[in-house]
Copies of this chain bind each other. A is one copy, B any other.
Amino acid sequence: MSGQVKYLLSEDEIPTHWVNIVPDLPGEPLPPLHPGTKEPLGPEDLAPIFPMALIEQEVSTEPDIEIPEEVREVLKLWRPTPLYRAWRLERHLDTPAHIYYKYEGVSPAGSHKPNTAVAQGYYNREAGIRKLSTETGAGQWGSALAFACQIFGLECEVFMVGVSYDQKPYRRAIIETSGGTVHRSPSDLTEAGRAQAGHPTGSLGIAISEAVEIAAGAEDTNYALGSVLGHVCLHQTVIGEECIRQMEMAGEYPDIVIGCVGGGSNYAGIAYPFIREKFRDSRPTRFIAAEPAACPTLTRGEYSYDFGDTVGLTPLMPMYTLGHDFVPPPFHAGGLRYHGDSPTLCALVKEGVIEARAFPQTATFEAAIRFAQCEGIIPAPEPAHAIRAVFDEAEKAKQEGVERTILFNLCGHGHFDMGAYEAYHAGKLEDLEFSEADMEQALERLPEAPALA
C-alpha cells in the first residue's frame, strides 16, 4: 500500500453547468416521432406531461446548460461524490492497470438517480406543478423521485410493478419514508390499470401507462422518467464532470471509461463529458458499455425507431431495440431490464465511439463479490456488469504488460439487492438466455417507421 485512496472535491466544486453532448455528436440528431403521425415531435406534444424547461433541454443544442443554484444546493447533501483508486483490487487482480471508480451510492437513494430526480422536481415546482407521477420497477427510481418531491414540497405518486410491490416491501417503505404514495400496479386508479385487473405480476409497461395517464389527466400533475430521455442523461453529466477534475487531482487521464447500461443515463453521466473531450481534443479514450447477456440491447438489438414503452403510447425513438414488448427474463439487475436505450447513447454506439459488451449474470456477481472483498462496498447488480468489464480489461492490460488507466461508474450499492447475493451464495443463480428466436420475434414486432441508416 500505496497512495491516496479517495479524491474529494469541495461543495463549491459541484459543476455549474450540465454537459449537453448533442451539439458535439456527428451529423444531425434524429428526431423522436409522434406515435400516431410518425412525424417529428413538437414541444407541444410533450407539454401535457413535462414542464417547458425540461422540454427545452430535451431539444437544446447548447453545449452547456446552467444548473440552477437551488438544485446545486440540494446536490450538496451528497455531492461531489468520491472518486476512489482501487489499490486493493489492483493488487488482487495482479494487474498493471490503474483502476478508478466513481461512487454514486452515497446519494439518498443509494444510486445516481437523485441527480436527475432533484432537477426534475425543481423544474416542475417552478412550473407550478403540485404532483409528480411515475412508475418504478425494483424501486430505485421511485425512491429517488419521492426524495426530490419531499425536498420541493411536491406530492409523489408511484406506480410500482405488482411483483416488486409484493416482493420488495423495503423499497416501498423507503418511498413512504420520503412521504411518497405507492400503488401496486395494475391499480384500480386508472383505465390502463383497470383494463389489466387481475394481472398476476404487473409490468413496467403497465405501470408507465398508469403514471402517464394520471399526469395527462390533471393540470397540476406531471410525469417524471428516470432514464432514456435526453434531459435525464444531461442531468447525470455532473458525474463525469466531477471525474474530470478528480482524475486531474490523481494526475491521470482515463484510457478507458466503463459503465453499465440499462436506459443509459448513468453511463451517459460518466461518459459524455469525456466523449466531448475525445471529440474536441482528439483523445484516444475508449468507451465500454456493459449490458446483460439476457437483455442484449446494444450488442444484439436492431437500430430502429421503436416505442419507449410496452403498450406503444410514447414517441418513437431512434435506438437499438429488442422490440418494445420484449419482456426480459427475471435476472437480478432490474435497472438493466429495458428493451431499448437512450437515443444519444445508441447513436454513439452506432458511430463506434462506444463499444458494447454483454455479460452473463453469474460472471457479474462473481466479479462484484471479489470487488466487495477488496474495496468494502457491495455493488448493486447493475454496476456489477461494469465491474465484470473492468476485470476483463485489467486482465488484458496484464497480458499486454501495459499500465492502462481504467475509470468506471459504481452507480449504486447493493444494500437492497442482497436477495440476489443470497441466491448466488446458495448456488441458485442462473445465467438466463436471449435466444435467436427472441431476436427474430423482436424484429417482427418493430413498428412501421422511417428506416435508420
Contacts and interface: CB of A to CB of B under 8 A. Distances in A.
A147 B376 contact: yes
Interface string A1-26: 10011101011000000000000000
Copy number in this complex? 2
Contacts of A415: 110, 415-416
Contact of A108 (B8, B77, B376): B376
B8 A77 contact: no
A376 B425 CA distance: 32
Nearest to A1: B73
A176 B373 CA distance: 10
Contacts of A279: none
A6 B1 contact: no
Contacts of A5: 11, 76-77
A76 B73 CA distance: 28
A376 B173 CA distance: 14
Nearest to A77: B376
A151 B376 CA distance: 9
Contacts of A8: 8, 10
B10 A173 contact: no
Interface in A265-284: none
A422 B169 contact: yes
A170 B425 contact: no
Given A110-B415, A173-B418, 9 more contacts: A1-B73, A6-B76, A88-B151, A114-B376, A147-B376, A170-B422, A173-B419, A177-B369, A177-B372
The 9 A-B pairs with the shortest beta carbon distances in the complex, nearest first, are A108-B376, A170-B418, A415-B415, A173-B422, A5-B76, A173-B421, A173-B418, A1-B73, A176-B425
27 contacts: A1-B70, A5-B11, A6-B11, A8-B10, A77-B88, A77-B375, A77-B376, A107-B376, A108-B376, A108-B377, A114-B376, A147-B376, A150-B373, A151-B376, A169-B418, A169-B419, A170-B418, A170-B419, A171-B418, A173-B418, A174-B418, A174-B421, A176-B421, A177-B372, A177-B373, A177-B425, A415-B415
